[in-house]
Amino acid sequence: MIPEQMSWEIQKCQEICTALEADRLSLEEGRRESEREASRLQAEAALLRERLQQLKGEAQPRAFQEELEWGRKERSQLLQQKAALESELEQLDRLQIDQVPPVPPERVVVFKGHTEEKVERSFLDMLSVKPRIHYPLAGGTALITFERPEVAQRIIALREHRVQLDESSSMRVKAEPVELLMPVSLEVIMERSPRQVLLSGLRFPSLSEDQLLDKLALFFSKRQNQGGEVEVIQRLSGPGHVALTFVEDGVAEQLIQRGQFQVSIGKETSKVKVSPYLDGKISDLPLRPLVCPRTVLLSGIPDVLDEESMSDALEIHFQKPSKGGGEVEAIAYVPVGQCAVTVFEREEGGAVSLSSAGPLS
């Protein structure tokens, strides 16, 4: 090997050694940096473990407190439910006698007739309902009721009618059926009032209504008469019937158990009967449309005559057999610009007919 080649090889080896030394130094610095980073991460991990232990220690009391609070709320709800059930049970115990049929007020009855086998009927079976349907009438209309239903049907079938007012004038009116919503049945829930009683058999002819109510309220407010403070006293529609409402519970029950009182007011004395007071609420009232068989609605009546003259003209026209009419039982005419209300009542056999009419207030 010539000296120049040896010198080149030596120089090349030196350069390689220098590069290797630089790599060693770089690797050494990287190792030290990694050790420092590992130490830092270990310190952070230690801090995190310590913080986690602290959080676990704080979470346990908080969870315990939340569970304790939930238990308290559940206990409070159970106590409320228990109190409500006890109150309901107490009310049921007090109202056990509600199933006893109500005692109807005493009435004086004179027997005129024959005897027959006794038929058991409750007080509620004797109740009857007579519907009174209010039917509004607009201006320029009239209701006309015939004595025979077939006449009304002929008038409706013809639809339009020319009514002669005088020799030179006439008018056209339209005939339509009258359809009403009638109750099919009536369901009433009867409840016995815990603080009310029904007084019957009151016979004090010399006293006015106000005087009688004042004296009765005073009599039944006295403790020696097993009474109590009276909240409301009112006269009912039946003859000699009064309803008393007491402030306190239990007073009404005491009076009902006794049943009868000898009440003296001035020089008059009457045997007064105390009965349970029943409150009725309508729970079901199904309706169905019903066409009045004898009544017709006339519309399109112009304002050309006064009320009396127009009613006469309509009645005369629809009484003529040649016009399809017949005998008129009642007529109600409402002039243009006015309105009125008519009342229909159910007749025997289920039919409904016009009962009365008057201005709509």
Local confidence pLDDT in tens for the 361 residues of the chain? 577 778 888 888 888 888 888 888 888 888 888 888 888 888 888 888 888 888 776 655 566 667 778 778 888 887 888 888 777 777 666 554 444 344 444 444 444 444 444 444 444 444 556 677 888 888 999 999 999 999 999 999 999 999 988 888 899 999 999 988 877 777 777 778 888 899 888 888 888 888 888 888 898 888 888 888 989 898 887 677 888 899 988 888 989 988 889 888 878 888 889 989 887 777 777 888 888 889 999 999 999 989 999 999 999 999 999 989 999 998 999 999 898 888 877 665 555 556 555 554 3
Q: What backbone torsions phi and psi does residue 245 show, to the nearest 5 degrees?
A: -120, 125
Taking alpha carbons only, the member of 225, 260, 235, 230 closest to residue 246 is 230
Q: Give residue 1's pLDDT.
A: 57
Q: How far apart are CA 180 and CA 135, in angstroms?
A: 8
DSSP 124: G
pTM for the full predicted model: 0.45
SS3 353: strand
CA distances from 199 to 60, 204, 236, 252, 254 (A): 70, 13, 10, 11, 14
Q: What backbone torsions phi and psi does residue 156 show, to the nearest 5 degrees?
A: -70, -40
Q: Give residue 101's pLDDT.
A: 41
Q: Give residue 270's pLDDT.
A: 85
Domain spanning 187-284: which superfamily? Answer: RRM (RNA recognition motif) domain (3.30.70.330)
Q: What backbone torsions phi and psi does residue 261 show, to the nearest 5 degrees?
A: -135, 145
